[in-house]
Amino acid sequence: MRTSQLLALGLASLALQGCLARAAVDVVTLPVKAVSAGVDAATTSQSEADEKRGREIRQREERLGRLERDYAKAMERCGNGDDAACDKAQAIRAEQKALMPGVPVEPDDD
């Protein structure tokens, strides 16, 4: 009986050494993992930056399209003698000029 208890105690101590060593490794690597996760959350990958830039460009292009349609309508009313429409057309044109530098120029396929 005494031998089986010693044998069980010996096996348990060997098994616990592995658990204790694993726990020690986990405790030691935890700060490194935490810092790594924080850096990943704080930084933006190149693909994420590209996606964000593309989304901003598309939004500007959509806004320019809406402004172009509004400008054409205002110019038509301005041509019919509506002074308020002329002022609105000038304001729209100023906004278009402000947005233009943020939209890249597409090369012609000619």
Under the banding of pLDDT at 50, 70 and 90, the label for residue 21 is low
Residues 9-22 have a mean pLDDT of 61
**Residue 25 vs residue 85, higher pLDDT:** 85
User: Does residue 43 sit within a domain?
Assistant: no
User: Does residue 42 sit within a domain?
Assistant: no
Instruction: Check whether residue 26 and residue 57 sit in a common domain.
Output: no
Cα–Cα distance measured from residue 84 to residue 74, given in angstroms and rounded to the nearest whole number: 9
Please check the confidence at residue 79 and state whether its pLDDT lies above 60: yes
User: Does residue 5 sit within a domain?
Assistant: yes
**Residue 89 vs residue 105, higher pLDDT:** 89
User: Does residue 44 sit within a domain?
Assistant: no
Q: In the prediction, which pLDDT does 67 show?
A: 92
Q: Exposed, middle or buried, 109 (CB in 10 Å: 0-12/13-18/19+)?
A: exposed
Instruction: Check whether residue 64 and residue 98 sit in a common domain.
Output: yes
Q: Domain containing 78: what range?
A: 50-103
Domain count along the chain: 2
Cα–Cα distance measured from residue 90 to residue 17, given in angstroms and rounded to the nearest whole number: 80
The Cα angle at residue 10 between residues 7 and 16, in degrees rounded to 5:
140
User: Does residue 110 sit within a domain?
Assistant: no
pTM for this structure?
0.52
